[in-house]
Structure 1
Amino acid sequence: MRSIGEMAQDSGLSVSALRFYDGAGVLAPAWVDPVSGYCWYGPEQLEEAQLLARLRRAGMPLADIRLVLAGWSSADTDLVRKLLQAHLCRLELGLSDARIEFSAVRAILERRENPMALLHTDAVRMAVSAPELAAALDAVRFAASTDPELPMLGGVLFDIEGESLQVVATDRYRMAVAHAATAGHGGSRVQVTVPIPLADAMRALLNGEEPLQLAVDGARMTLETGDRQAAGQCLDHDFPDYRRLVRLPAGRRSLVDVPAFREALETGPVRASEVRKQDCVPCDLSVLKVATDGSVTVCEDGDDDPNNVAVNREFLLHALAAGARDQLILEFGAPTAPLAIRRSDTENTFSMLMPVSLDN
């Protein structure tokens, strides 16, 4: 027999929670001392209490938990499985509804925060270098979102202002920005978000040196090179104001040899015991440390220096590949600030990764 204090310690439920579940008729003690009123639990009740704790953490209603425990004690596995599946379906439906509502709220917020984005009514036509535009698309493509609940991020932003074209993609956890020079527009700012399939079709045309024309007519984007063309409708969503998101305070800069650093990431330790979920997808973490000489190393398990920065290893490898240089600059701010990956030859092409907290 376990006392109520021992049961609390072994099950993960507090003493007050055990008393509450007793009163609710969910988990009654095996014996109550008639004189002192003290509660005692049988050996078989520990597993039930641990199950109860897990189900409550999963948000299952008490009425369903009572049925699960009844089925558990009678070995009615079919009942238990059906109740678990029904609750999981409710959670998934609730999460889907919440995502839709949050997506709508974010869209409203972005329209309020970015009121100056032009309505795409005036035709714009400009010349762009094929190698420059190809390099810009290659530098940002990896950061585009594939989340159907965030349609405003499911493309590449073409931000045209004067003779400058900024190409931007983000999935919230990472952002990439690249620059390409243009000629022939020189007018006011125009922004369009090109859906990923159209952006990929445009990139497929950019394999030569021949001049090309980029045109925006209303919400339609057209790329012409020689006798070939890629065209389609742009997304009917406002892209977030990325200029506000990239204003980072200066941090510690480290020049890294990309092939060697990539090998260190691919073969180095990951926090396998502390796998986190980003956007409901499990990810391995690489924890980075900047030494006093500016070198960057991948930390071993047990290095809990609060200045270390943990990032999604796969995302960092993608950013290094998109940087397309043998040497890149990693810029570290606070452990909770984005990690910037920059080229040494330009400040206009870079990417950022959000760090991942190591706190349980």
Structure 2
Amino acid sequence: MHSIGEMGRDSGLGVSALRFYDRVGVLVPARVDPATGYRWYAPEQLGEARLLARLRQAGMPLADVRLVLAGWSGGDTGLVPRLLDGHLRRLERELADARGALSTVRSLLGHKETGMTTTTTGTSRTARLTVPAAEFAAALDAVRFAVGEDPELPMLGGIHFDLEGTDLHLVATDRYRMAVACAHTTGHGGERVQVTVPAPLVDAMRALLTDDSPAALTVAGDEVELEIQGRRVAGQGLGEEFPDHRRLMRLPEGRRIALDVPALRRALAGQGGERCALVLTDTVTVAAADYAGPGDRVGVNPGFLLDALAVGEEGMLLEYVGPRAPLVLLRPGTEDAFSLLMPCTLDD
């Protein structure tokens, strides 16, 4: 017999997914301990679980998955291919529809760009400023975890430097989360200057920030240079347009709950799979994805939330707007340092 943990690891489904598929009758364990409720699976169920994982990866609806598994286990050699072919045709139709919709969007964007009479905030402008090394390092550390790694979205593969007045805002996002931090500067105080610094150059900059000496930062178009105590690192920005992070930050005010950061870290570290539930009452606790008790329930990726908590400290707040809205993690003492975390579904 396989434990639920072993089954989750070997099948690729994850413990929370296995609990869900048990609850909806798709993959029922061979035995459930009557005293502890712990699930055990027969050896022959591993192949079924692996098949289930691939079908869900392919986006097959749960109703069709149920029929495929029934045909698989019953030896029906005719039903399963017809279901697979039908799902593939449905995906092809949806892809054609999506291509048509995106073509329309591209056309609309082209008309908008043609009609614009002003340029975006100038990346060709030059800024020279000084920032305390320790403050700059802390700001970089607070957002580095959210840098994207998708080669299809190269504009997200770095940290966006947004300088306006004396405030240097640092922003990173991989679509599923966004982190914002701020460092205070001297020597510029002028109009807005922006550049997106690629992750390798960010890491090289961070390596120089070992004490609290003043660091000199220069942005000239897409060129970025950092110098501190005679040591220097320089390189080129991504040259890609970063999303309008200010628009992404416009959320209605929600309910704020104080976090017990050490307790949350311990609870999240014990979670398997790619999702779990946060249960929000007067406090925030962690539960399995199939939790159905009292309190507001919102799905999160435990690894993503651990990343956000790793750069925080006691006094962090969670702002909850609604089950489908981003969760906001606020660091104490400032409105300029926070993380947004997109919720994930707990229904499949």
Distance 1:44 1:285, change over 3 A: closer
Q: Please tell me whether residue 321 in structure 1 is matched to residue 310 in structure 2.
A: yes
Tell me if the contact between 1:11 and 1:50 (Cα under 8 Å) persists in the aligned partners: no
CA apart distance, 1:248:
1.2
CA apart distance, 1:116:
5.5
Unaligned runs of 5+ in 2: 1-62
Q: Please tell me whether residue 175 in structure 1 is matched to residue 178 in structure 2.
A: yes
What CA RMSD, in Å, does the superposition of the two structures yield over aligned residues?
Answer: 3.4
Residue 257 of structure 1: aligned partner? 260
TM-score of the pair, normalised by structure 2: 0.70
Tell me if the contact between 2:225 and 2:233 (Cα under 8 Å) persists in the aligned partners: yes
SS at match of 2:86: helix
Residue 153 of structure 1: aligned partner? 156
CA apart distance, 1:288:
0.8
Residue 49 of structure 1: aligned partner? 79
> How many angstroms apart in 2 are the aligned matches of 1:135 and 1:191?
20
Residue 340 of structure 2: aligned partner? 352
Tell me if the contact between 1:167 and 1:179 (Cα under 8 Å) persists in the aligned partners: yes
> How many angstroms apart in 2 are the aligned matches of 1:235 and 1:210?
28
SS at match of 2:247: helix
TM-score of the pair, normalised by structure 1: 0.68
Tell me if the contact between 1:312 and 1:356 (Cα under 8 Å) persists in the aligned partners: yes
Tell me if the contact between 1:212 and 1:223 (Cα under 8 Å) persists in the aligned partners: yes
Tell me if the contact between 2:259 and 2:284 (Cα under 8 Å) persists in the aligned partners: yes
> How many angstroms apart in 1 are the aligned matches of 2:152 and 2:231?
33
CA apart distance, 1:301:
5.1
Q: May I ask how many residue pairs the two structures share in their alignment?
A: 272
SS at match of 2:170: strand
Q: Please tell me whether residue 336 in structure 1 is matched to residue 324 in structure 2.
A: yes
SS at match of 1:188: coil
CA apart distance, 1:44:
8.6
Q: Please tell me whether residue 203 in structure 1 is matched to residue 206 in structure 2.
A: yes
Task: Select the residue among 208, 228, 232 that pairs with 2:231.
Answer: 228
Q: Structure 1, residues 263-284: CA drift from partner, whole Å, max 9, x if none?
A: 111225x5x5xxxxxxxxxxx1
Tell me if the contact between 1:10 and 1:46 (Cα under 8 Å) persists in the aligned partners: no
> How many angstroms apart in 1 are the aligned matches of 2:249 and 2:79?
49
Aligned pairs for 1:28-43 (under 5 A) are none
Residue 299 of structure 1: aligned partner? 287
Distance 1:45 1:212, change over 3 A: closer
CA apart distance, 1:9:
10
Percent of aligned pairs with the same residue? Answer: 45
> How many angstroms apart in 2 are the aligned matches of 1:344 and 1:224?
30
Q: Please tell me whether residue 288 in structure 1 is matched to residue 288 in structure 2.
A: no
> How many angstroms apart in 2 are the aligned matches of 1:10 and 1:337?
29
Unaligned runs of 5+ in 1: 1-7, 14-42, 62-89, 273-283
Residue 267 of structure 1: aligned partner? 270
Of structures 1 and 2, the one with the larger relative CO (CA 8 A, separation 6+) is 2
SS at match of 2:239: coil
SS at match of 1:133: helix
Q: Larger Cα Rg: Structure 1 or Structure 2?
A: 1
> How many angstroms apart in 1 are the aligned matches of 2:145 and 2:326?
17
Distance 1:298 1:130, change over 3 A: same
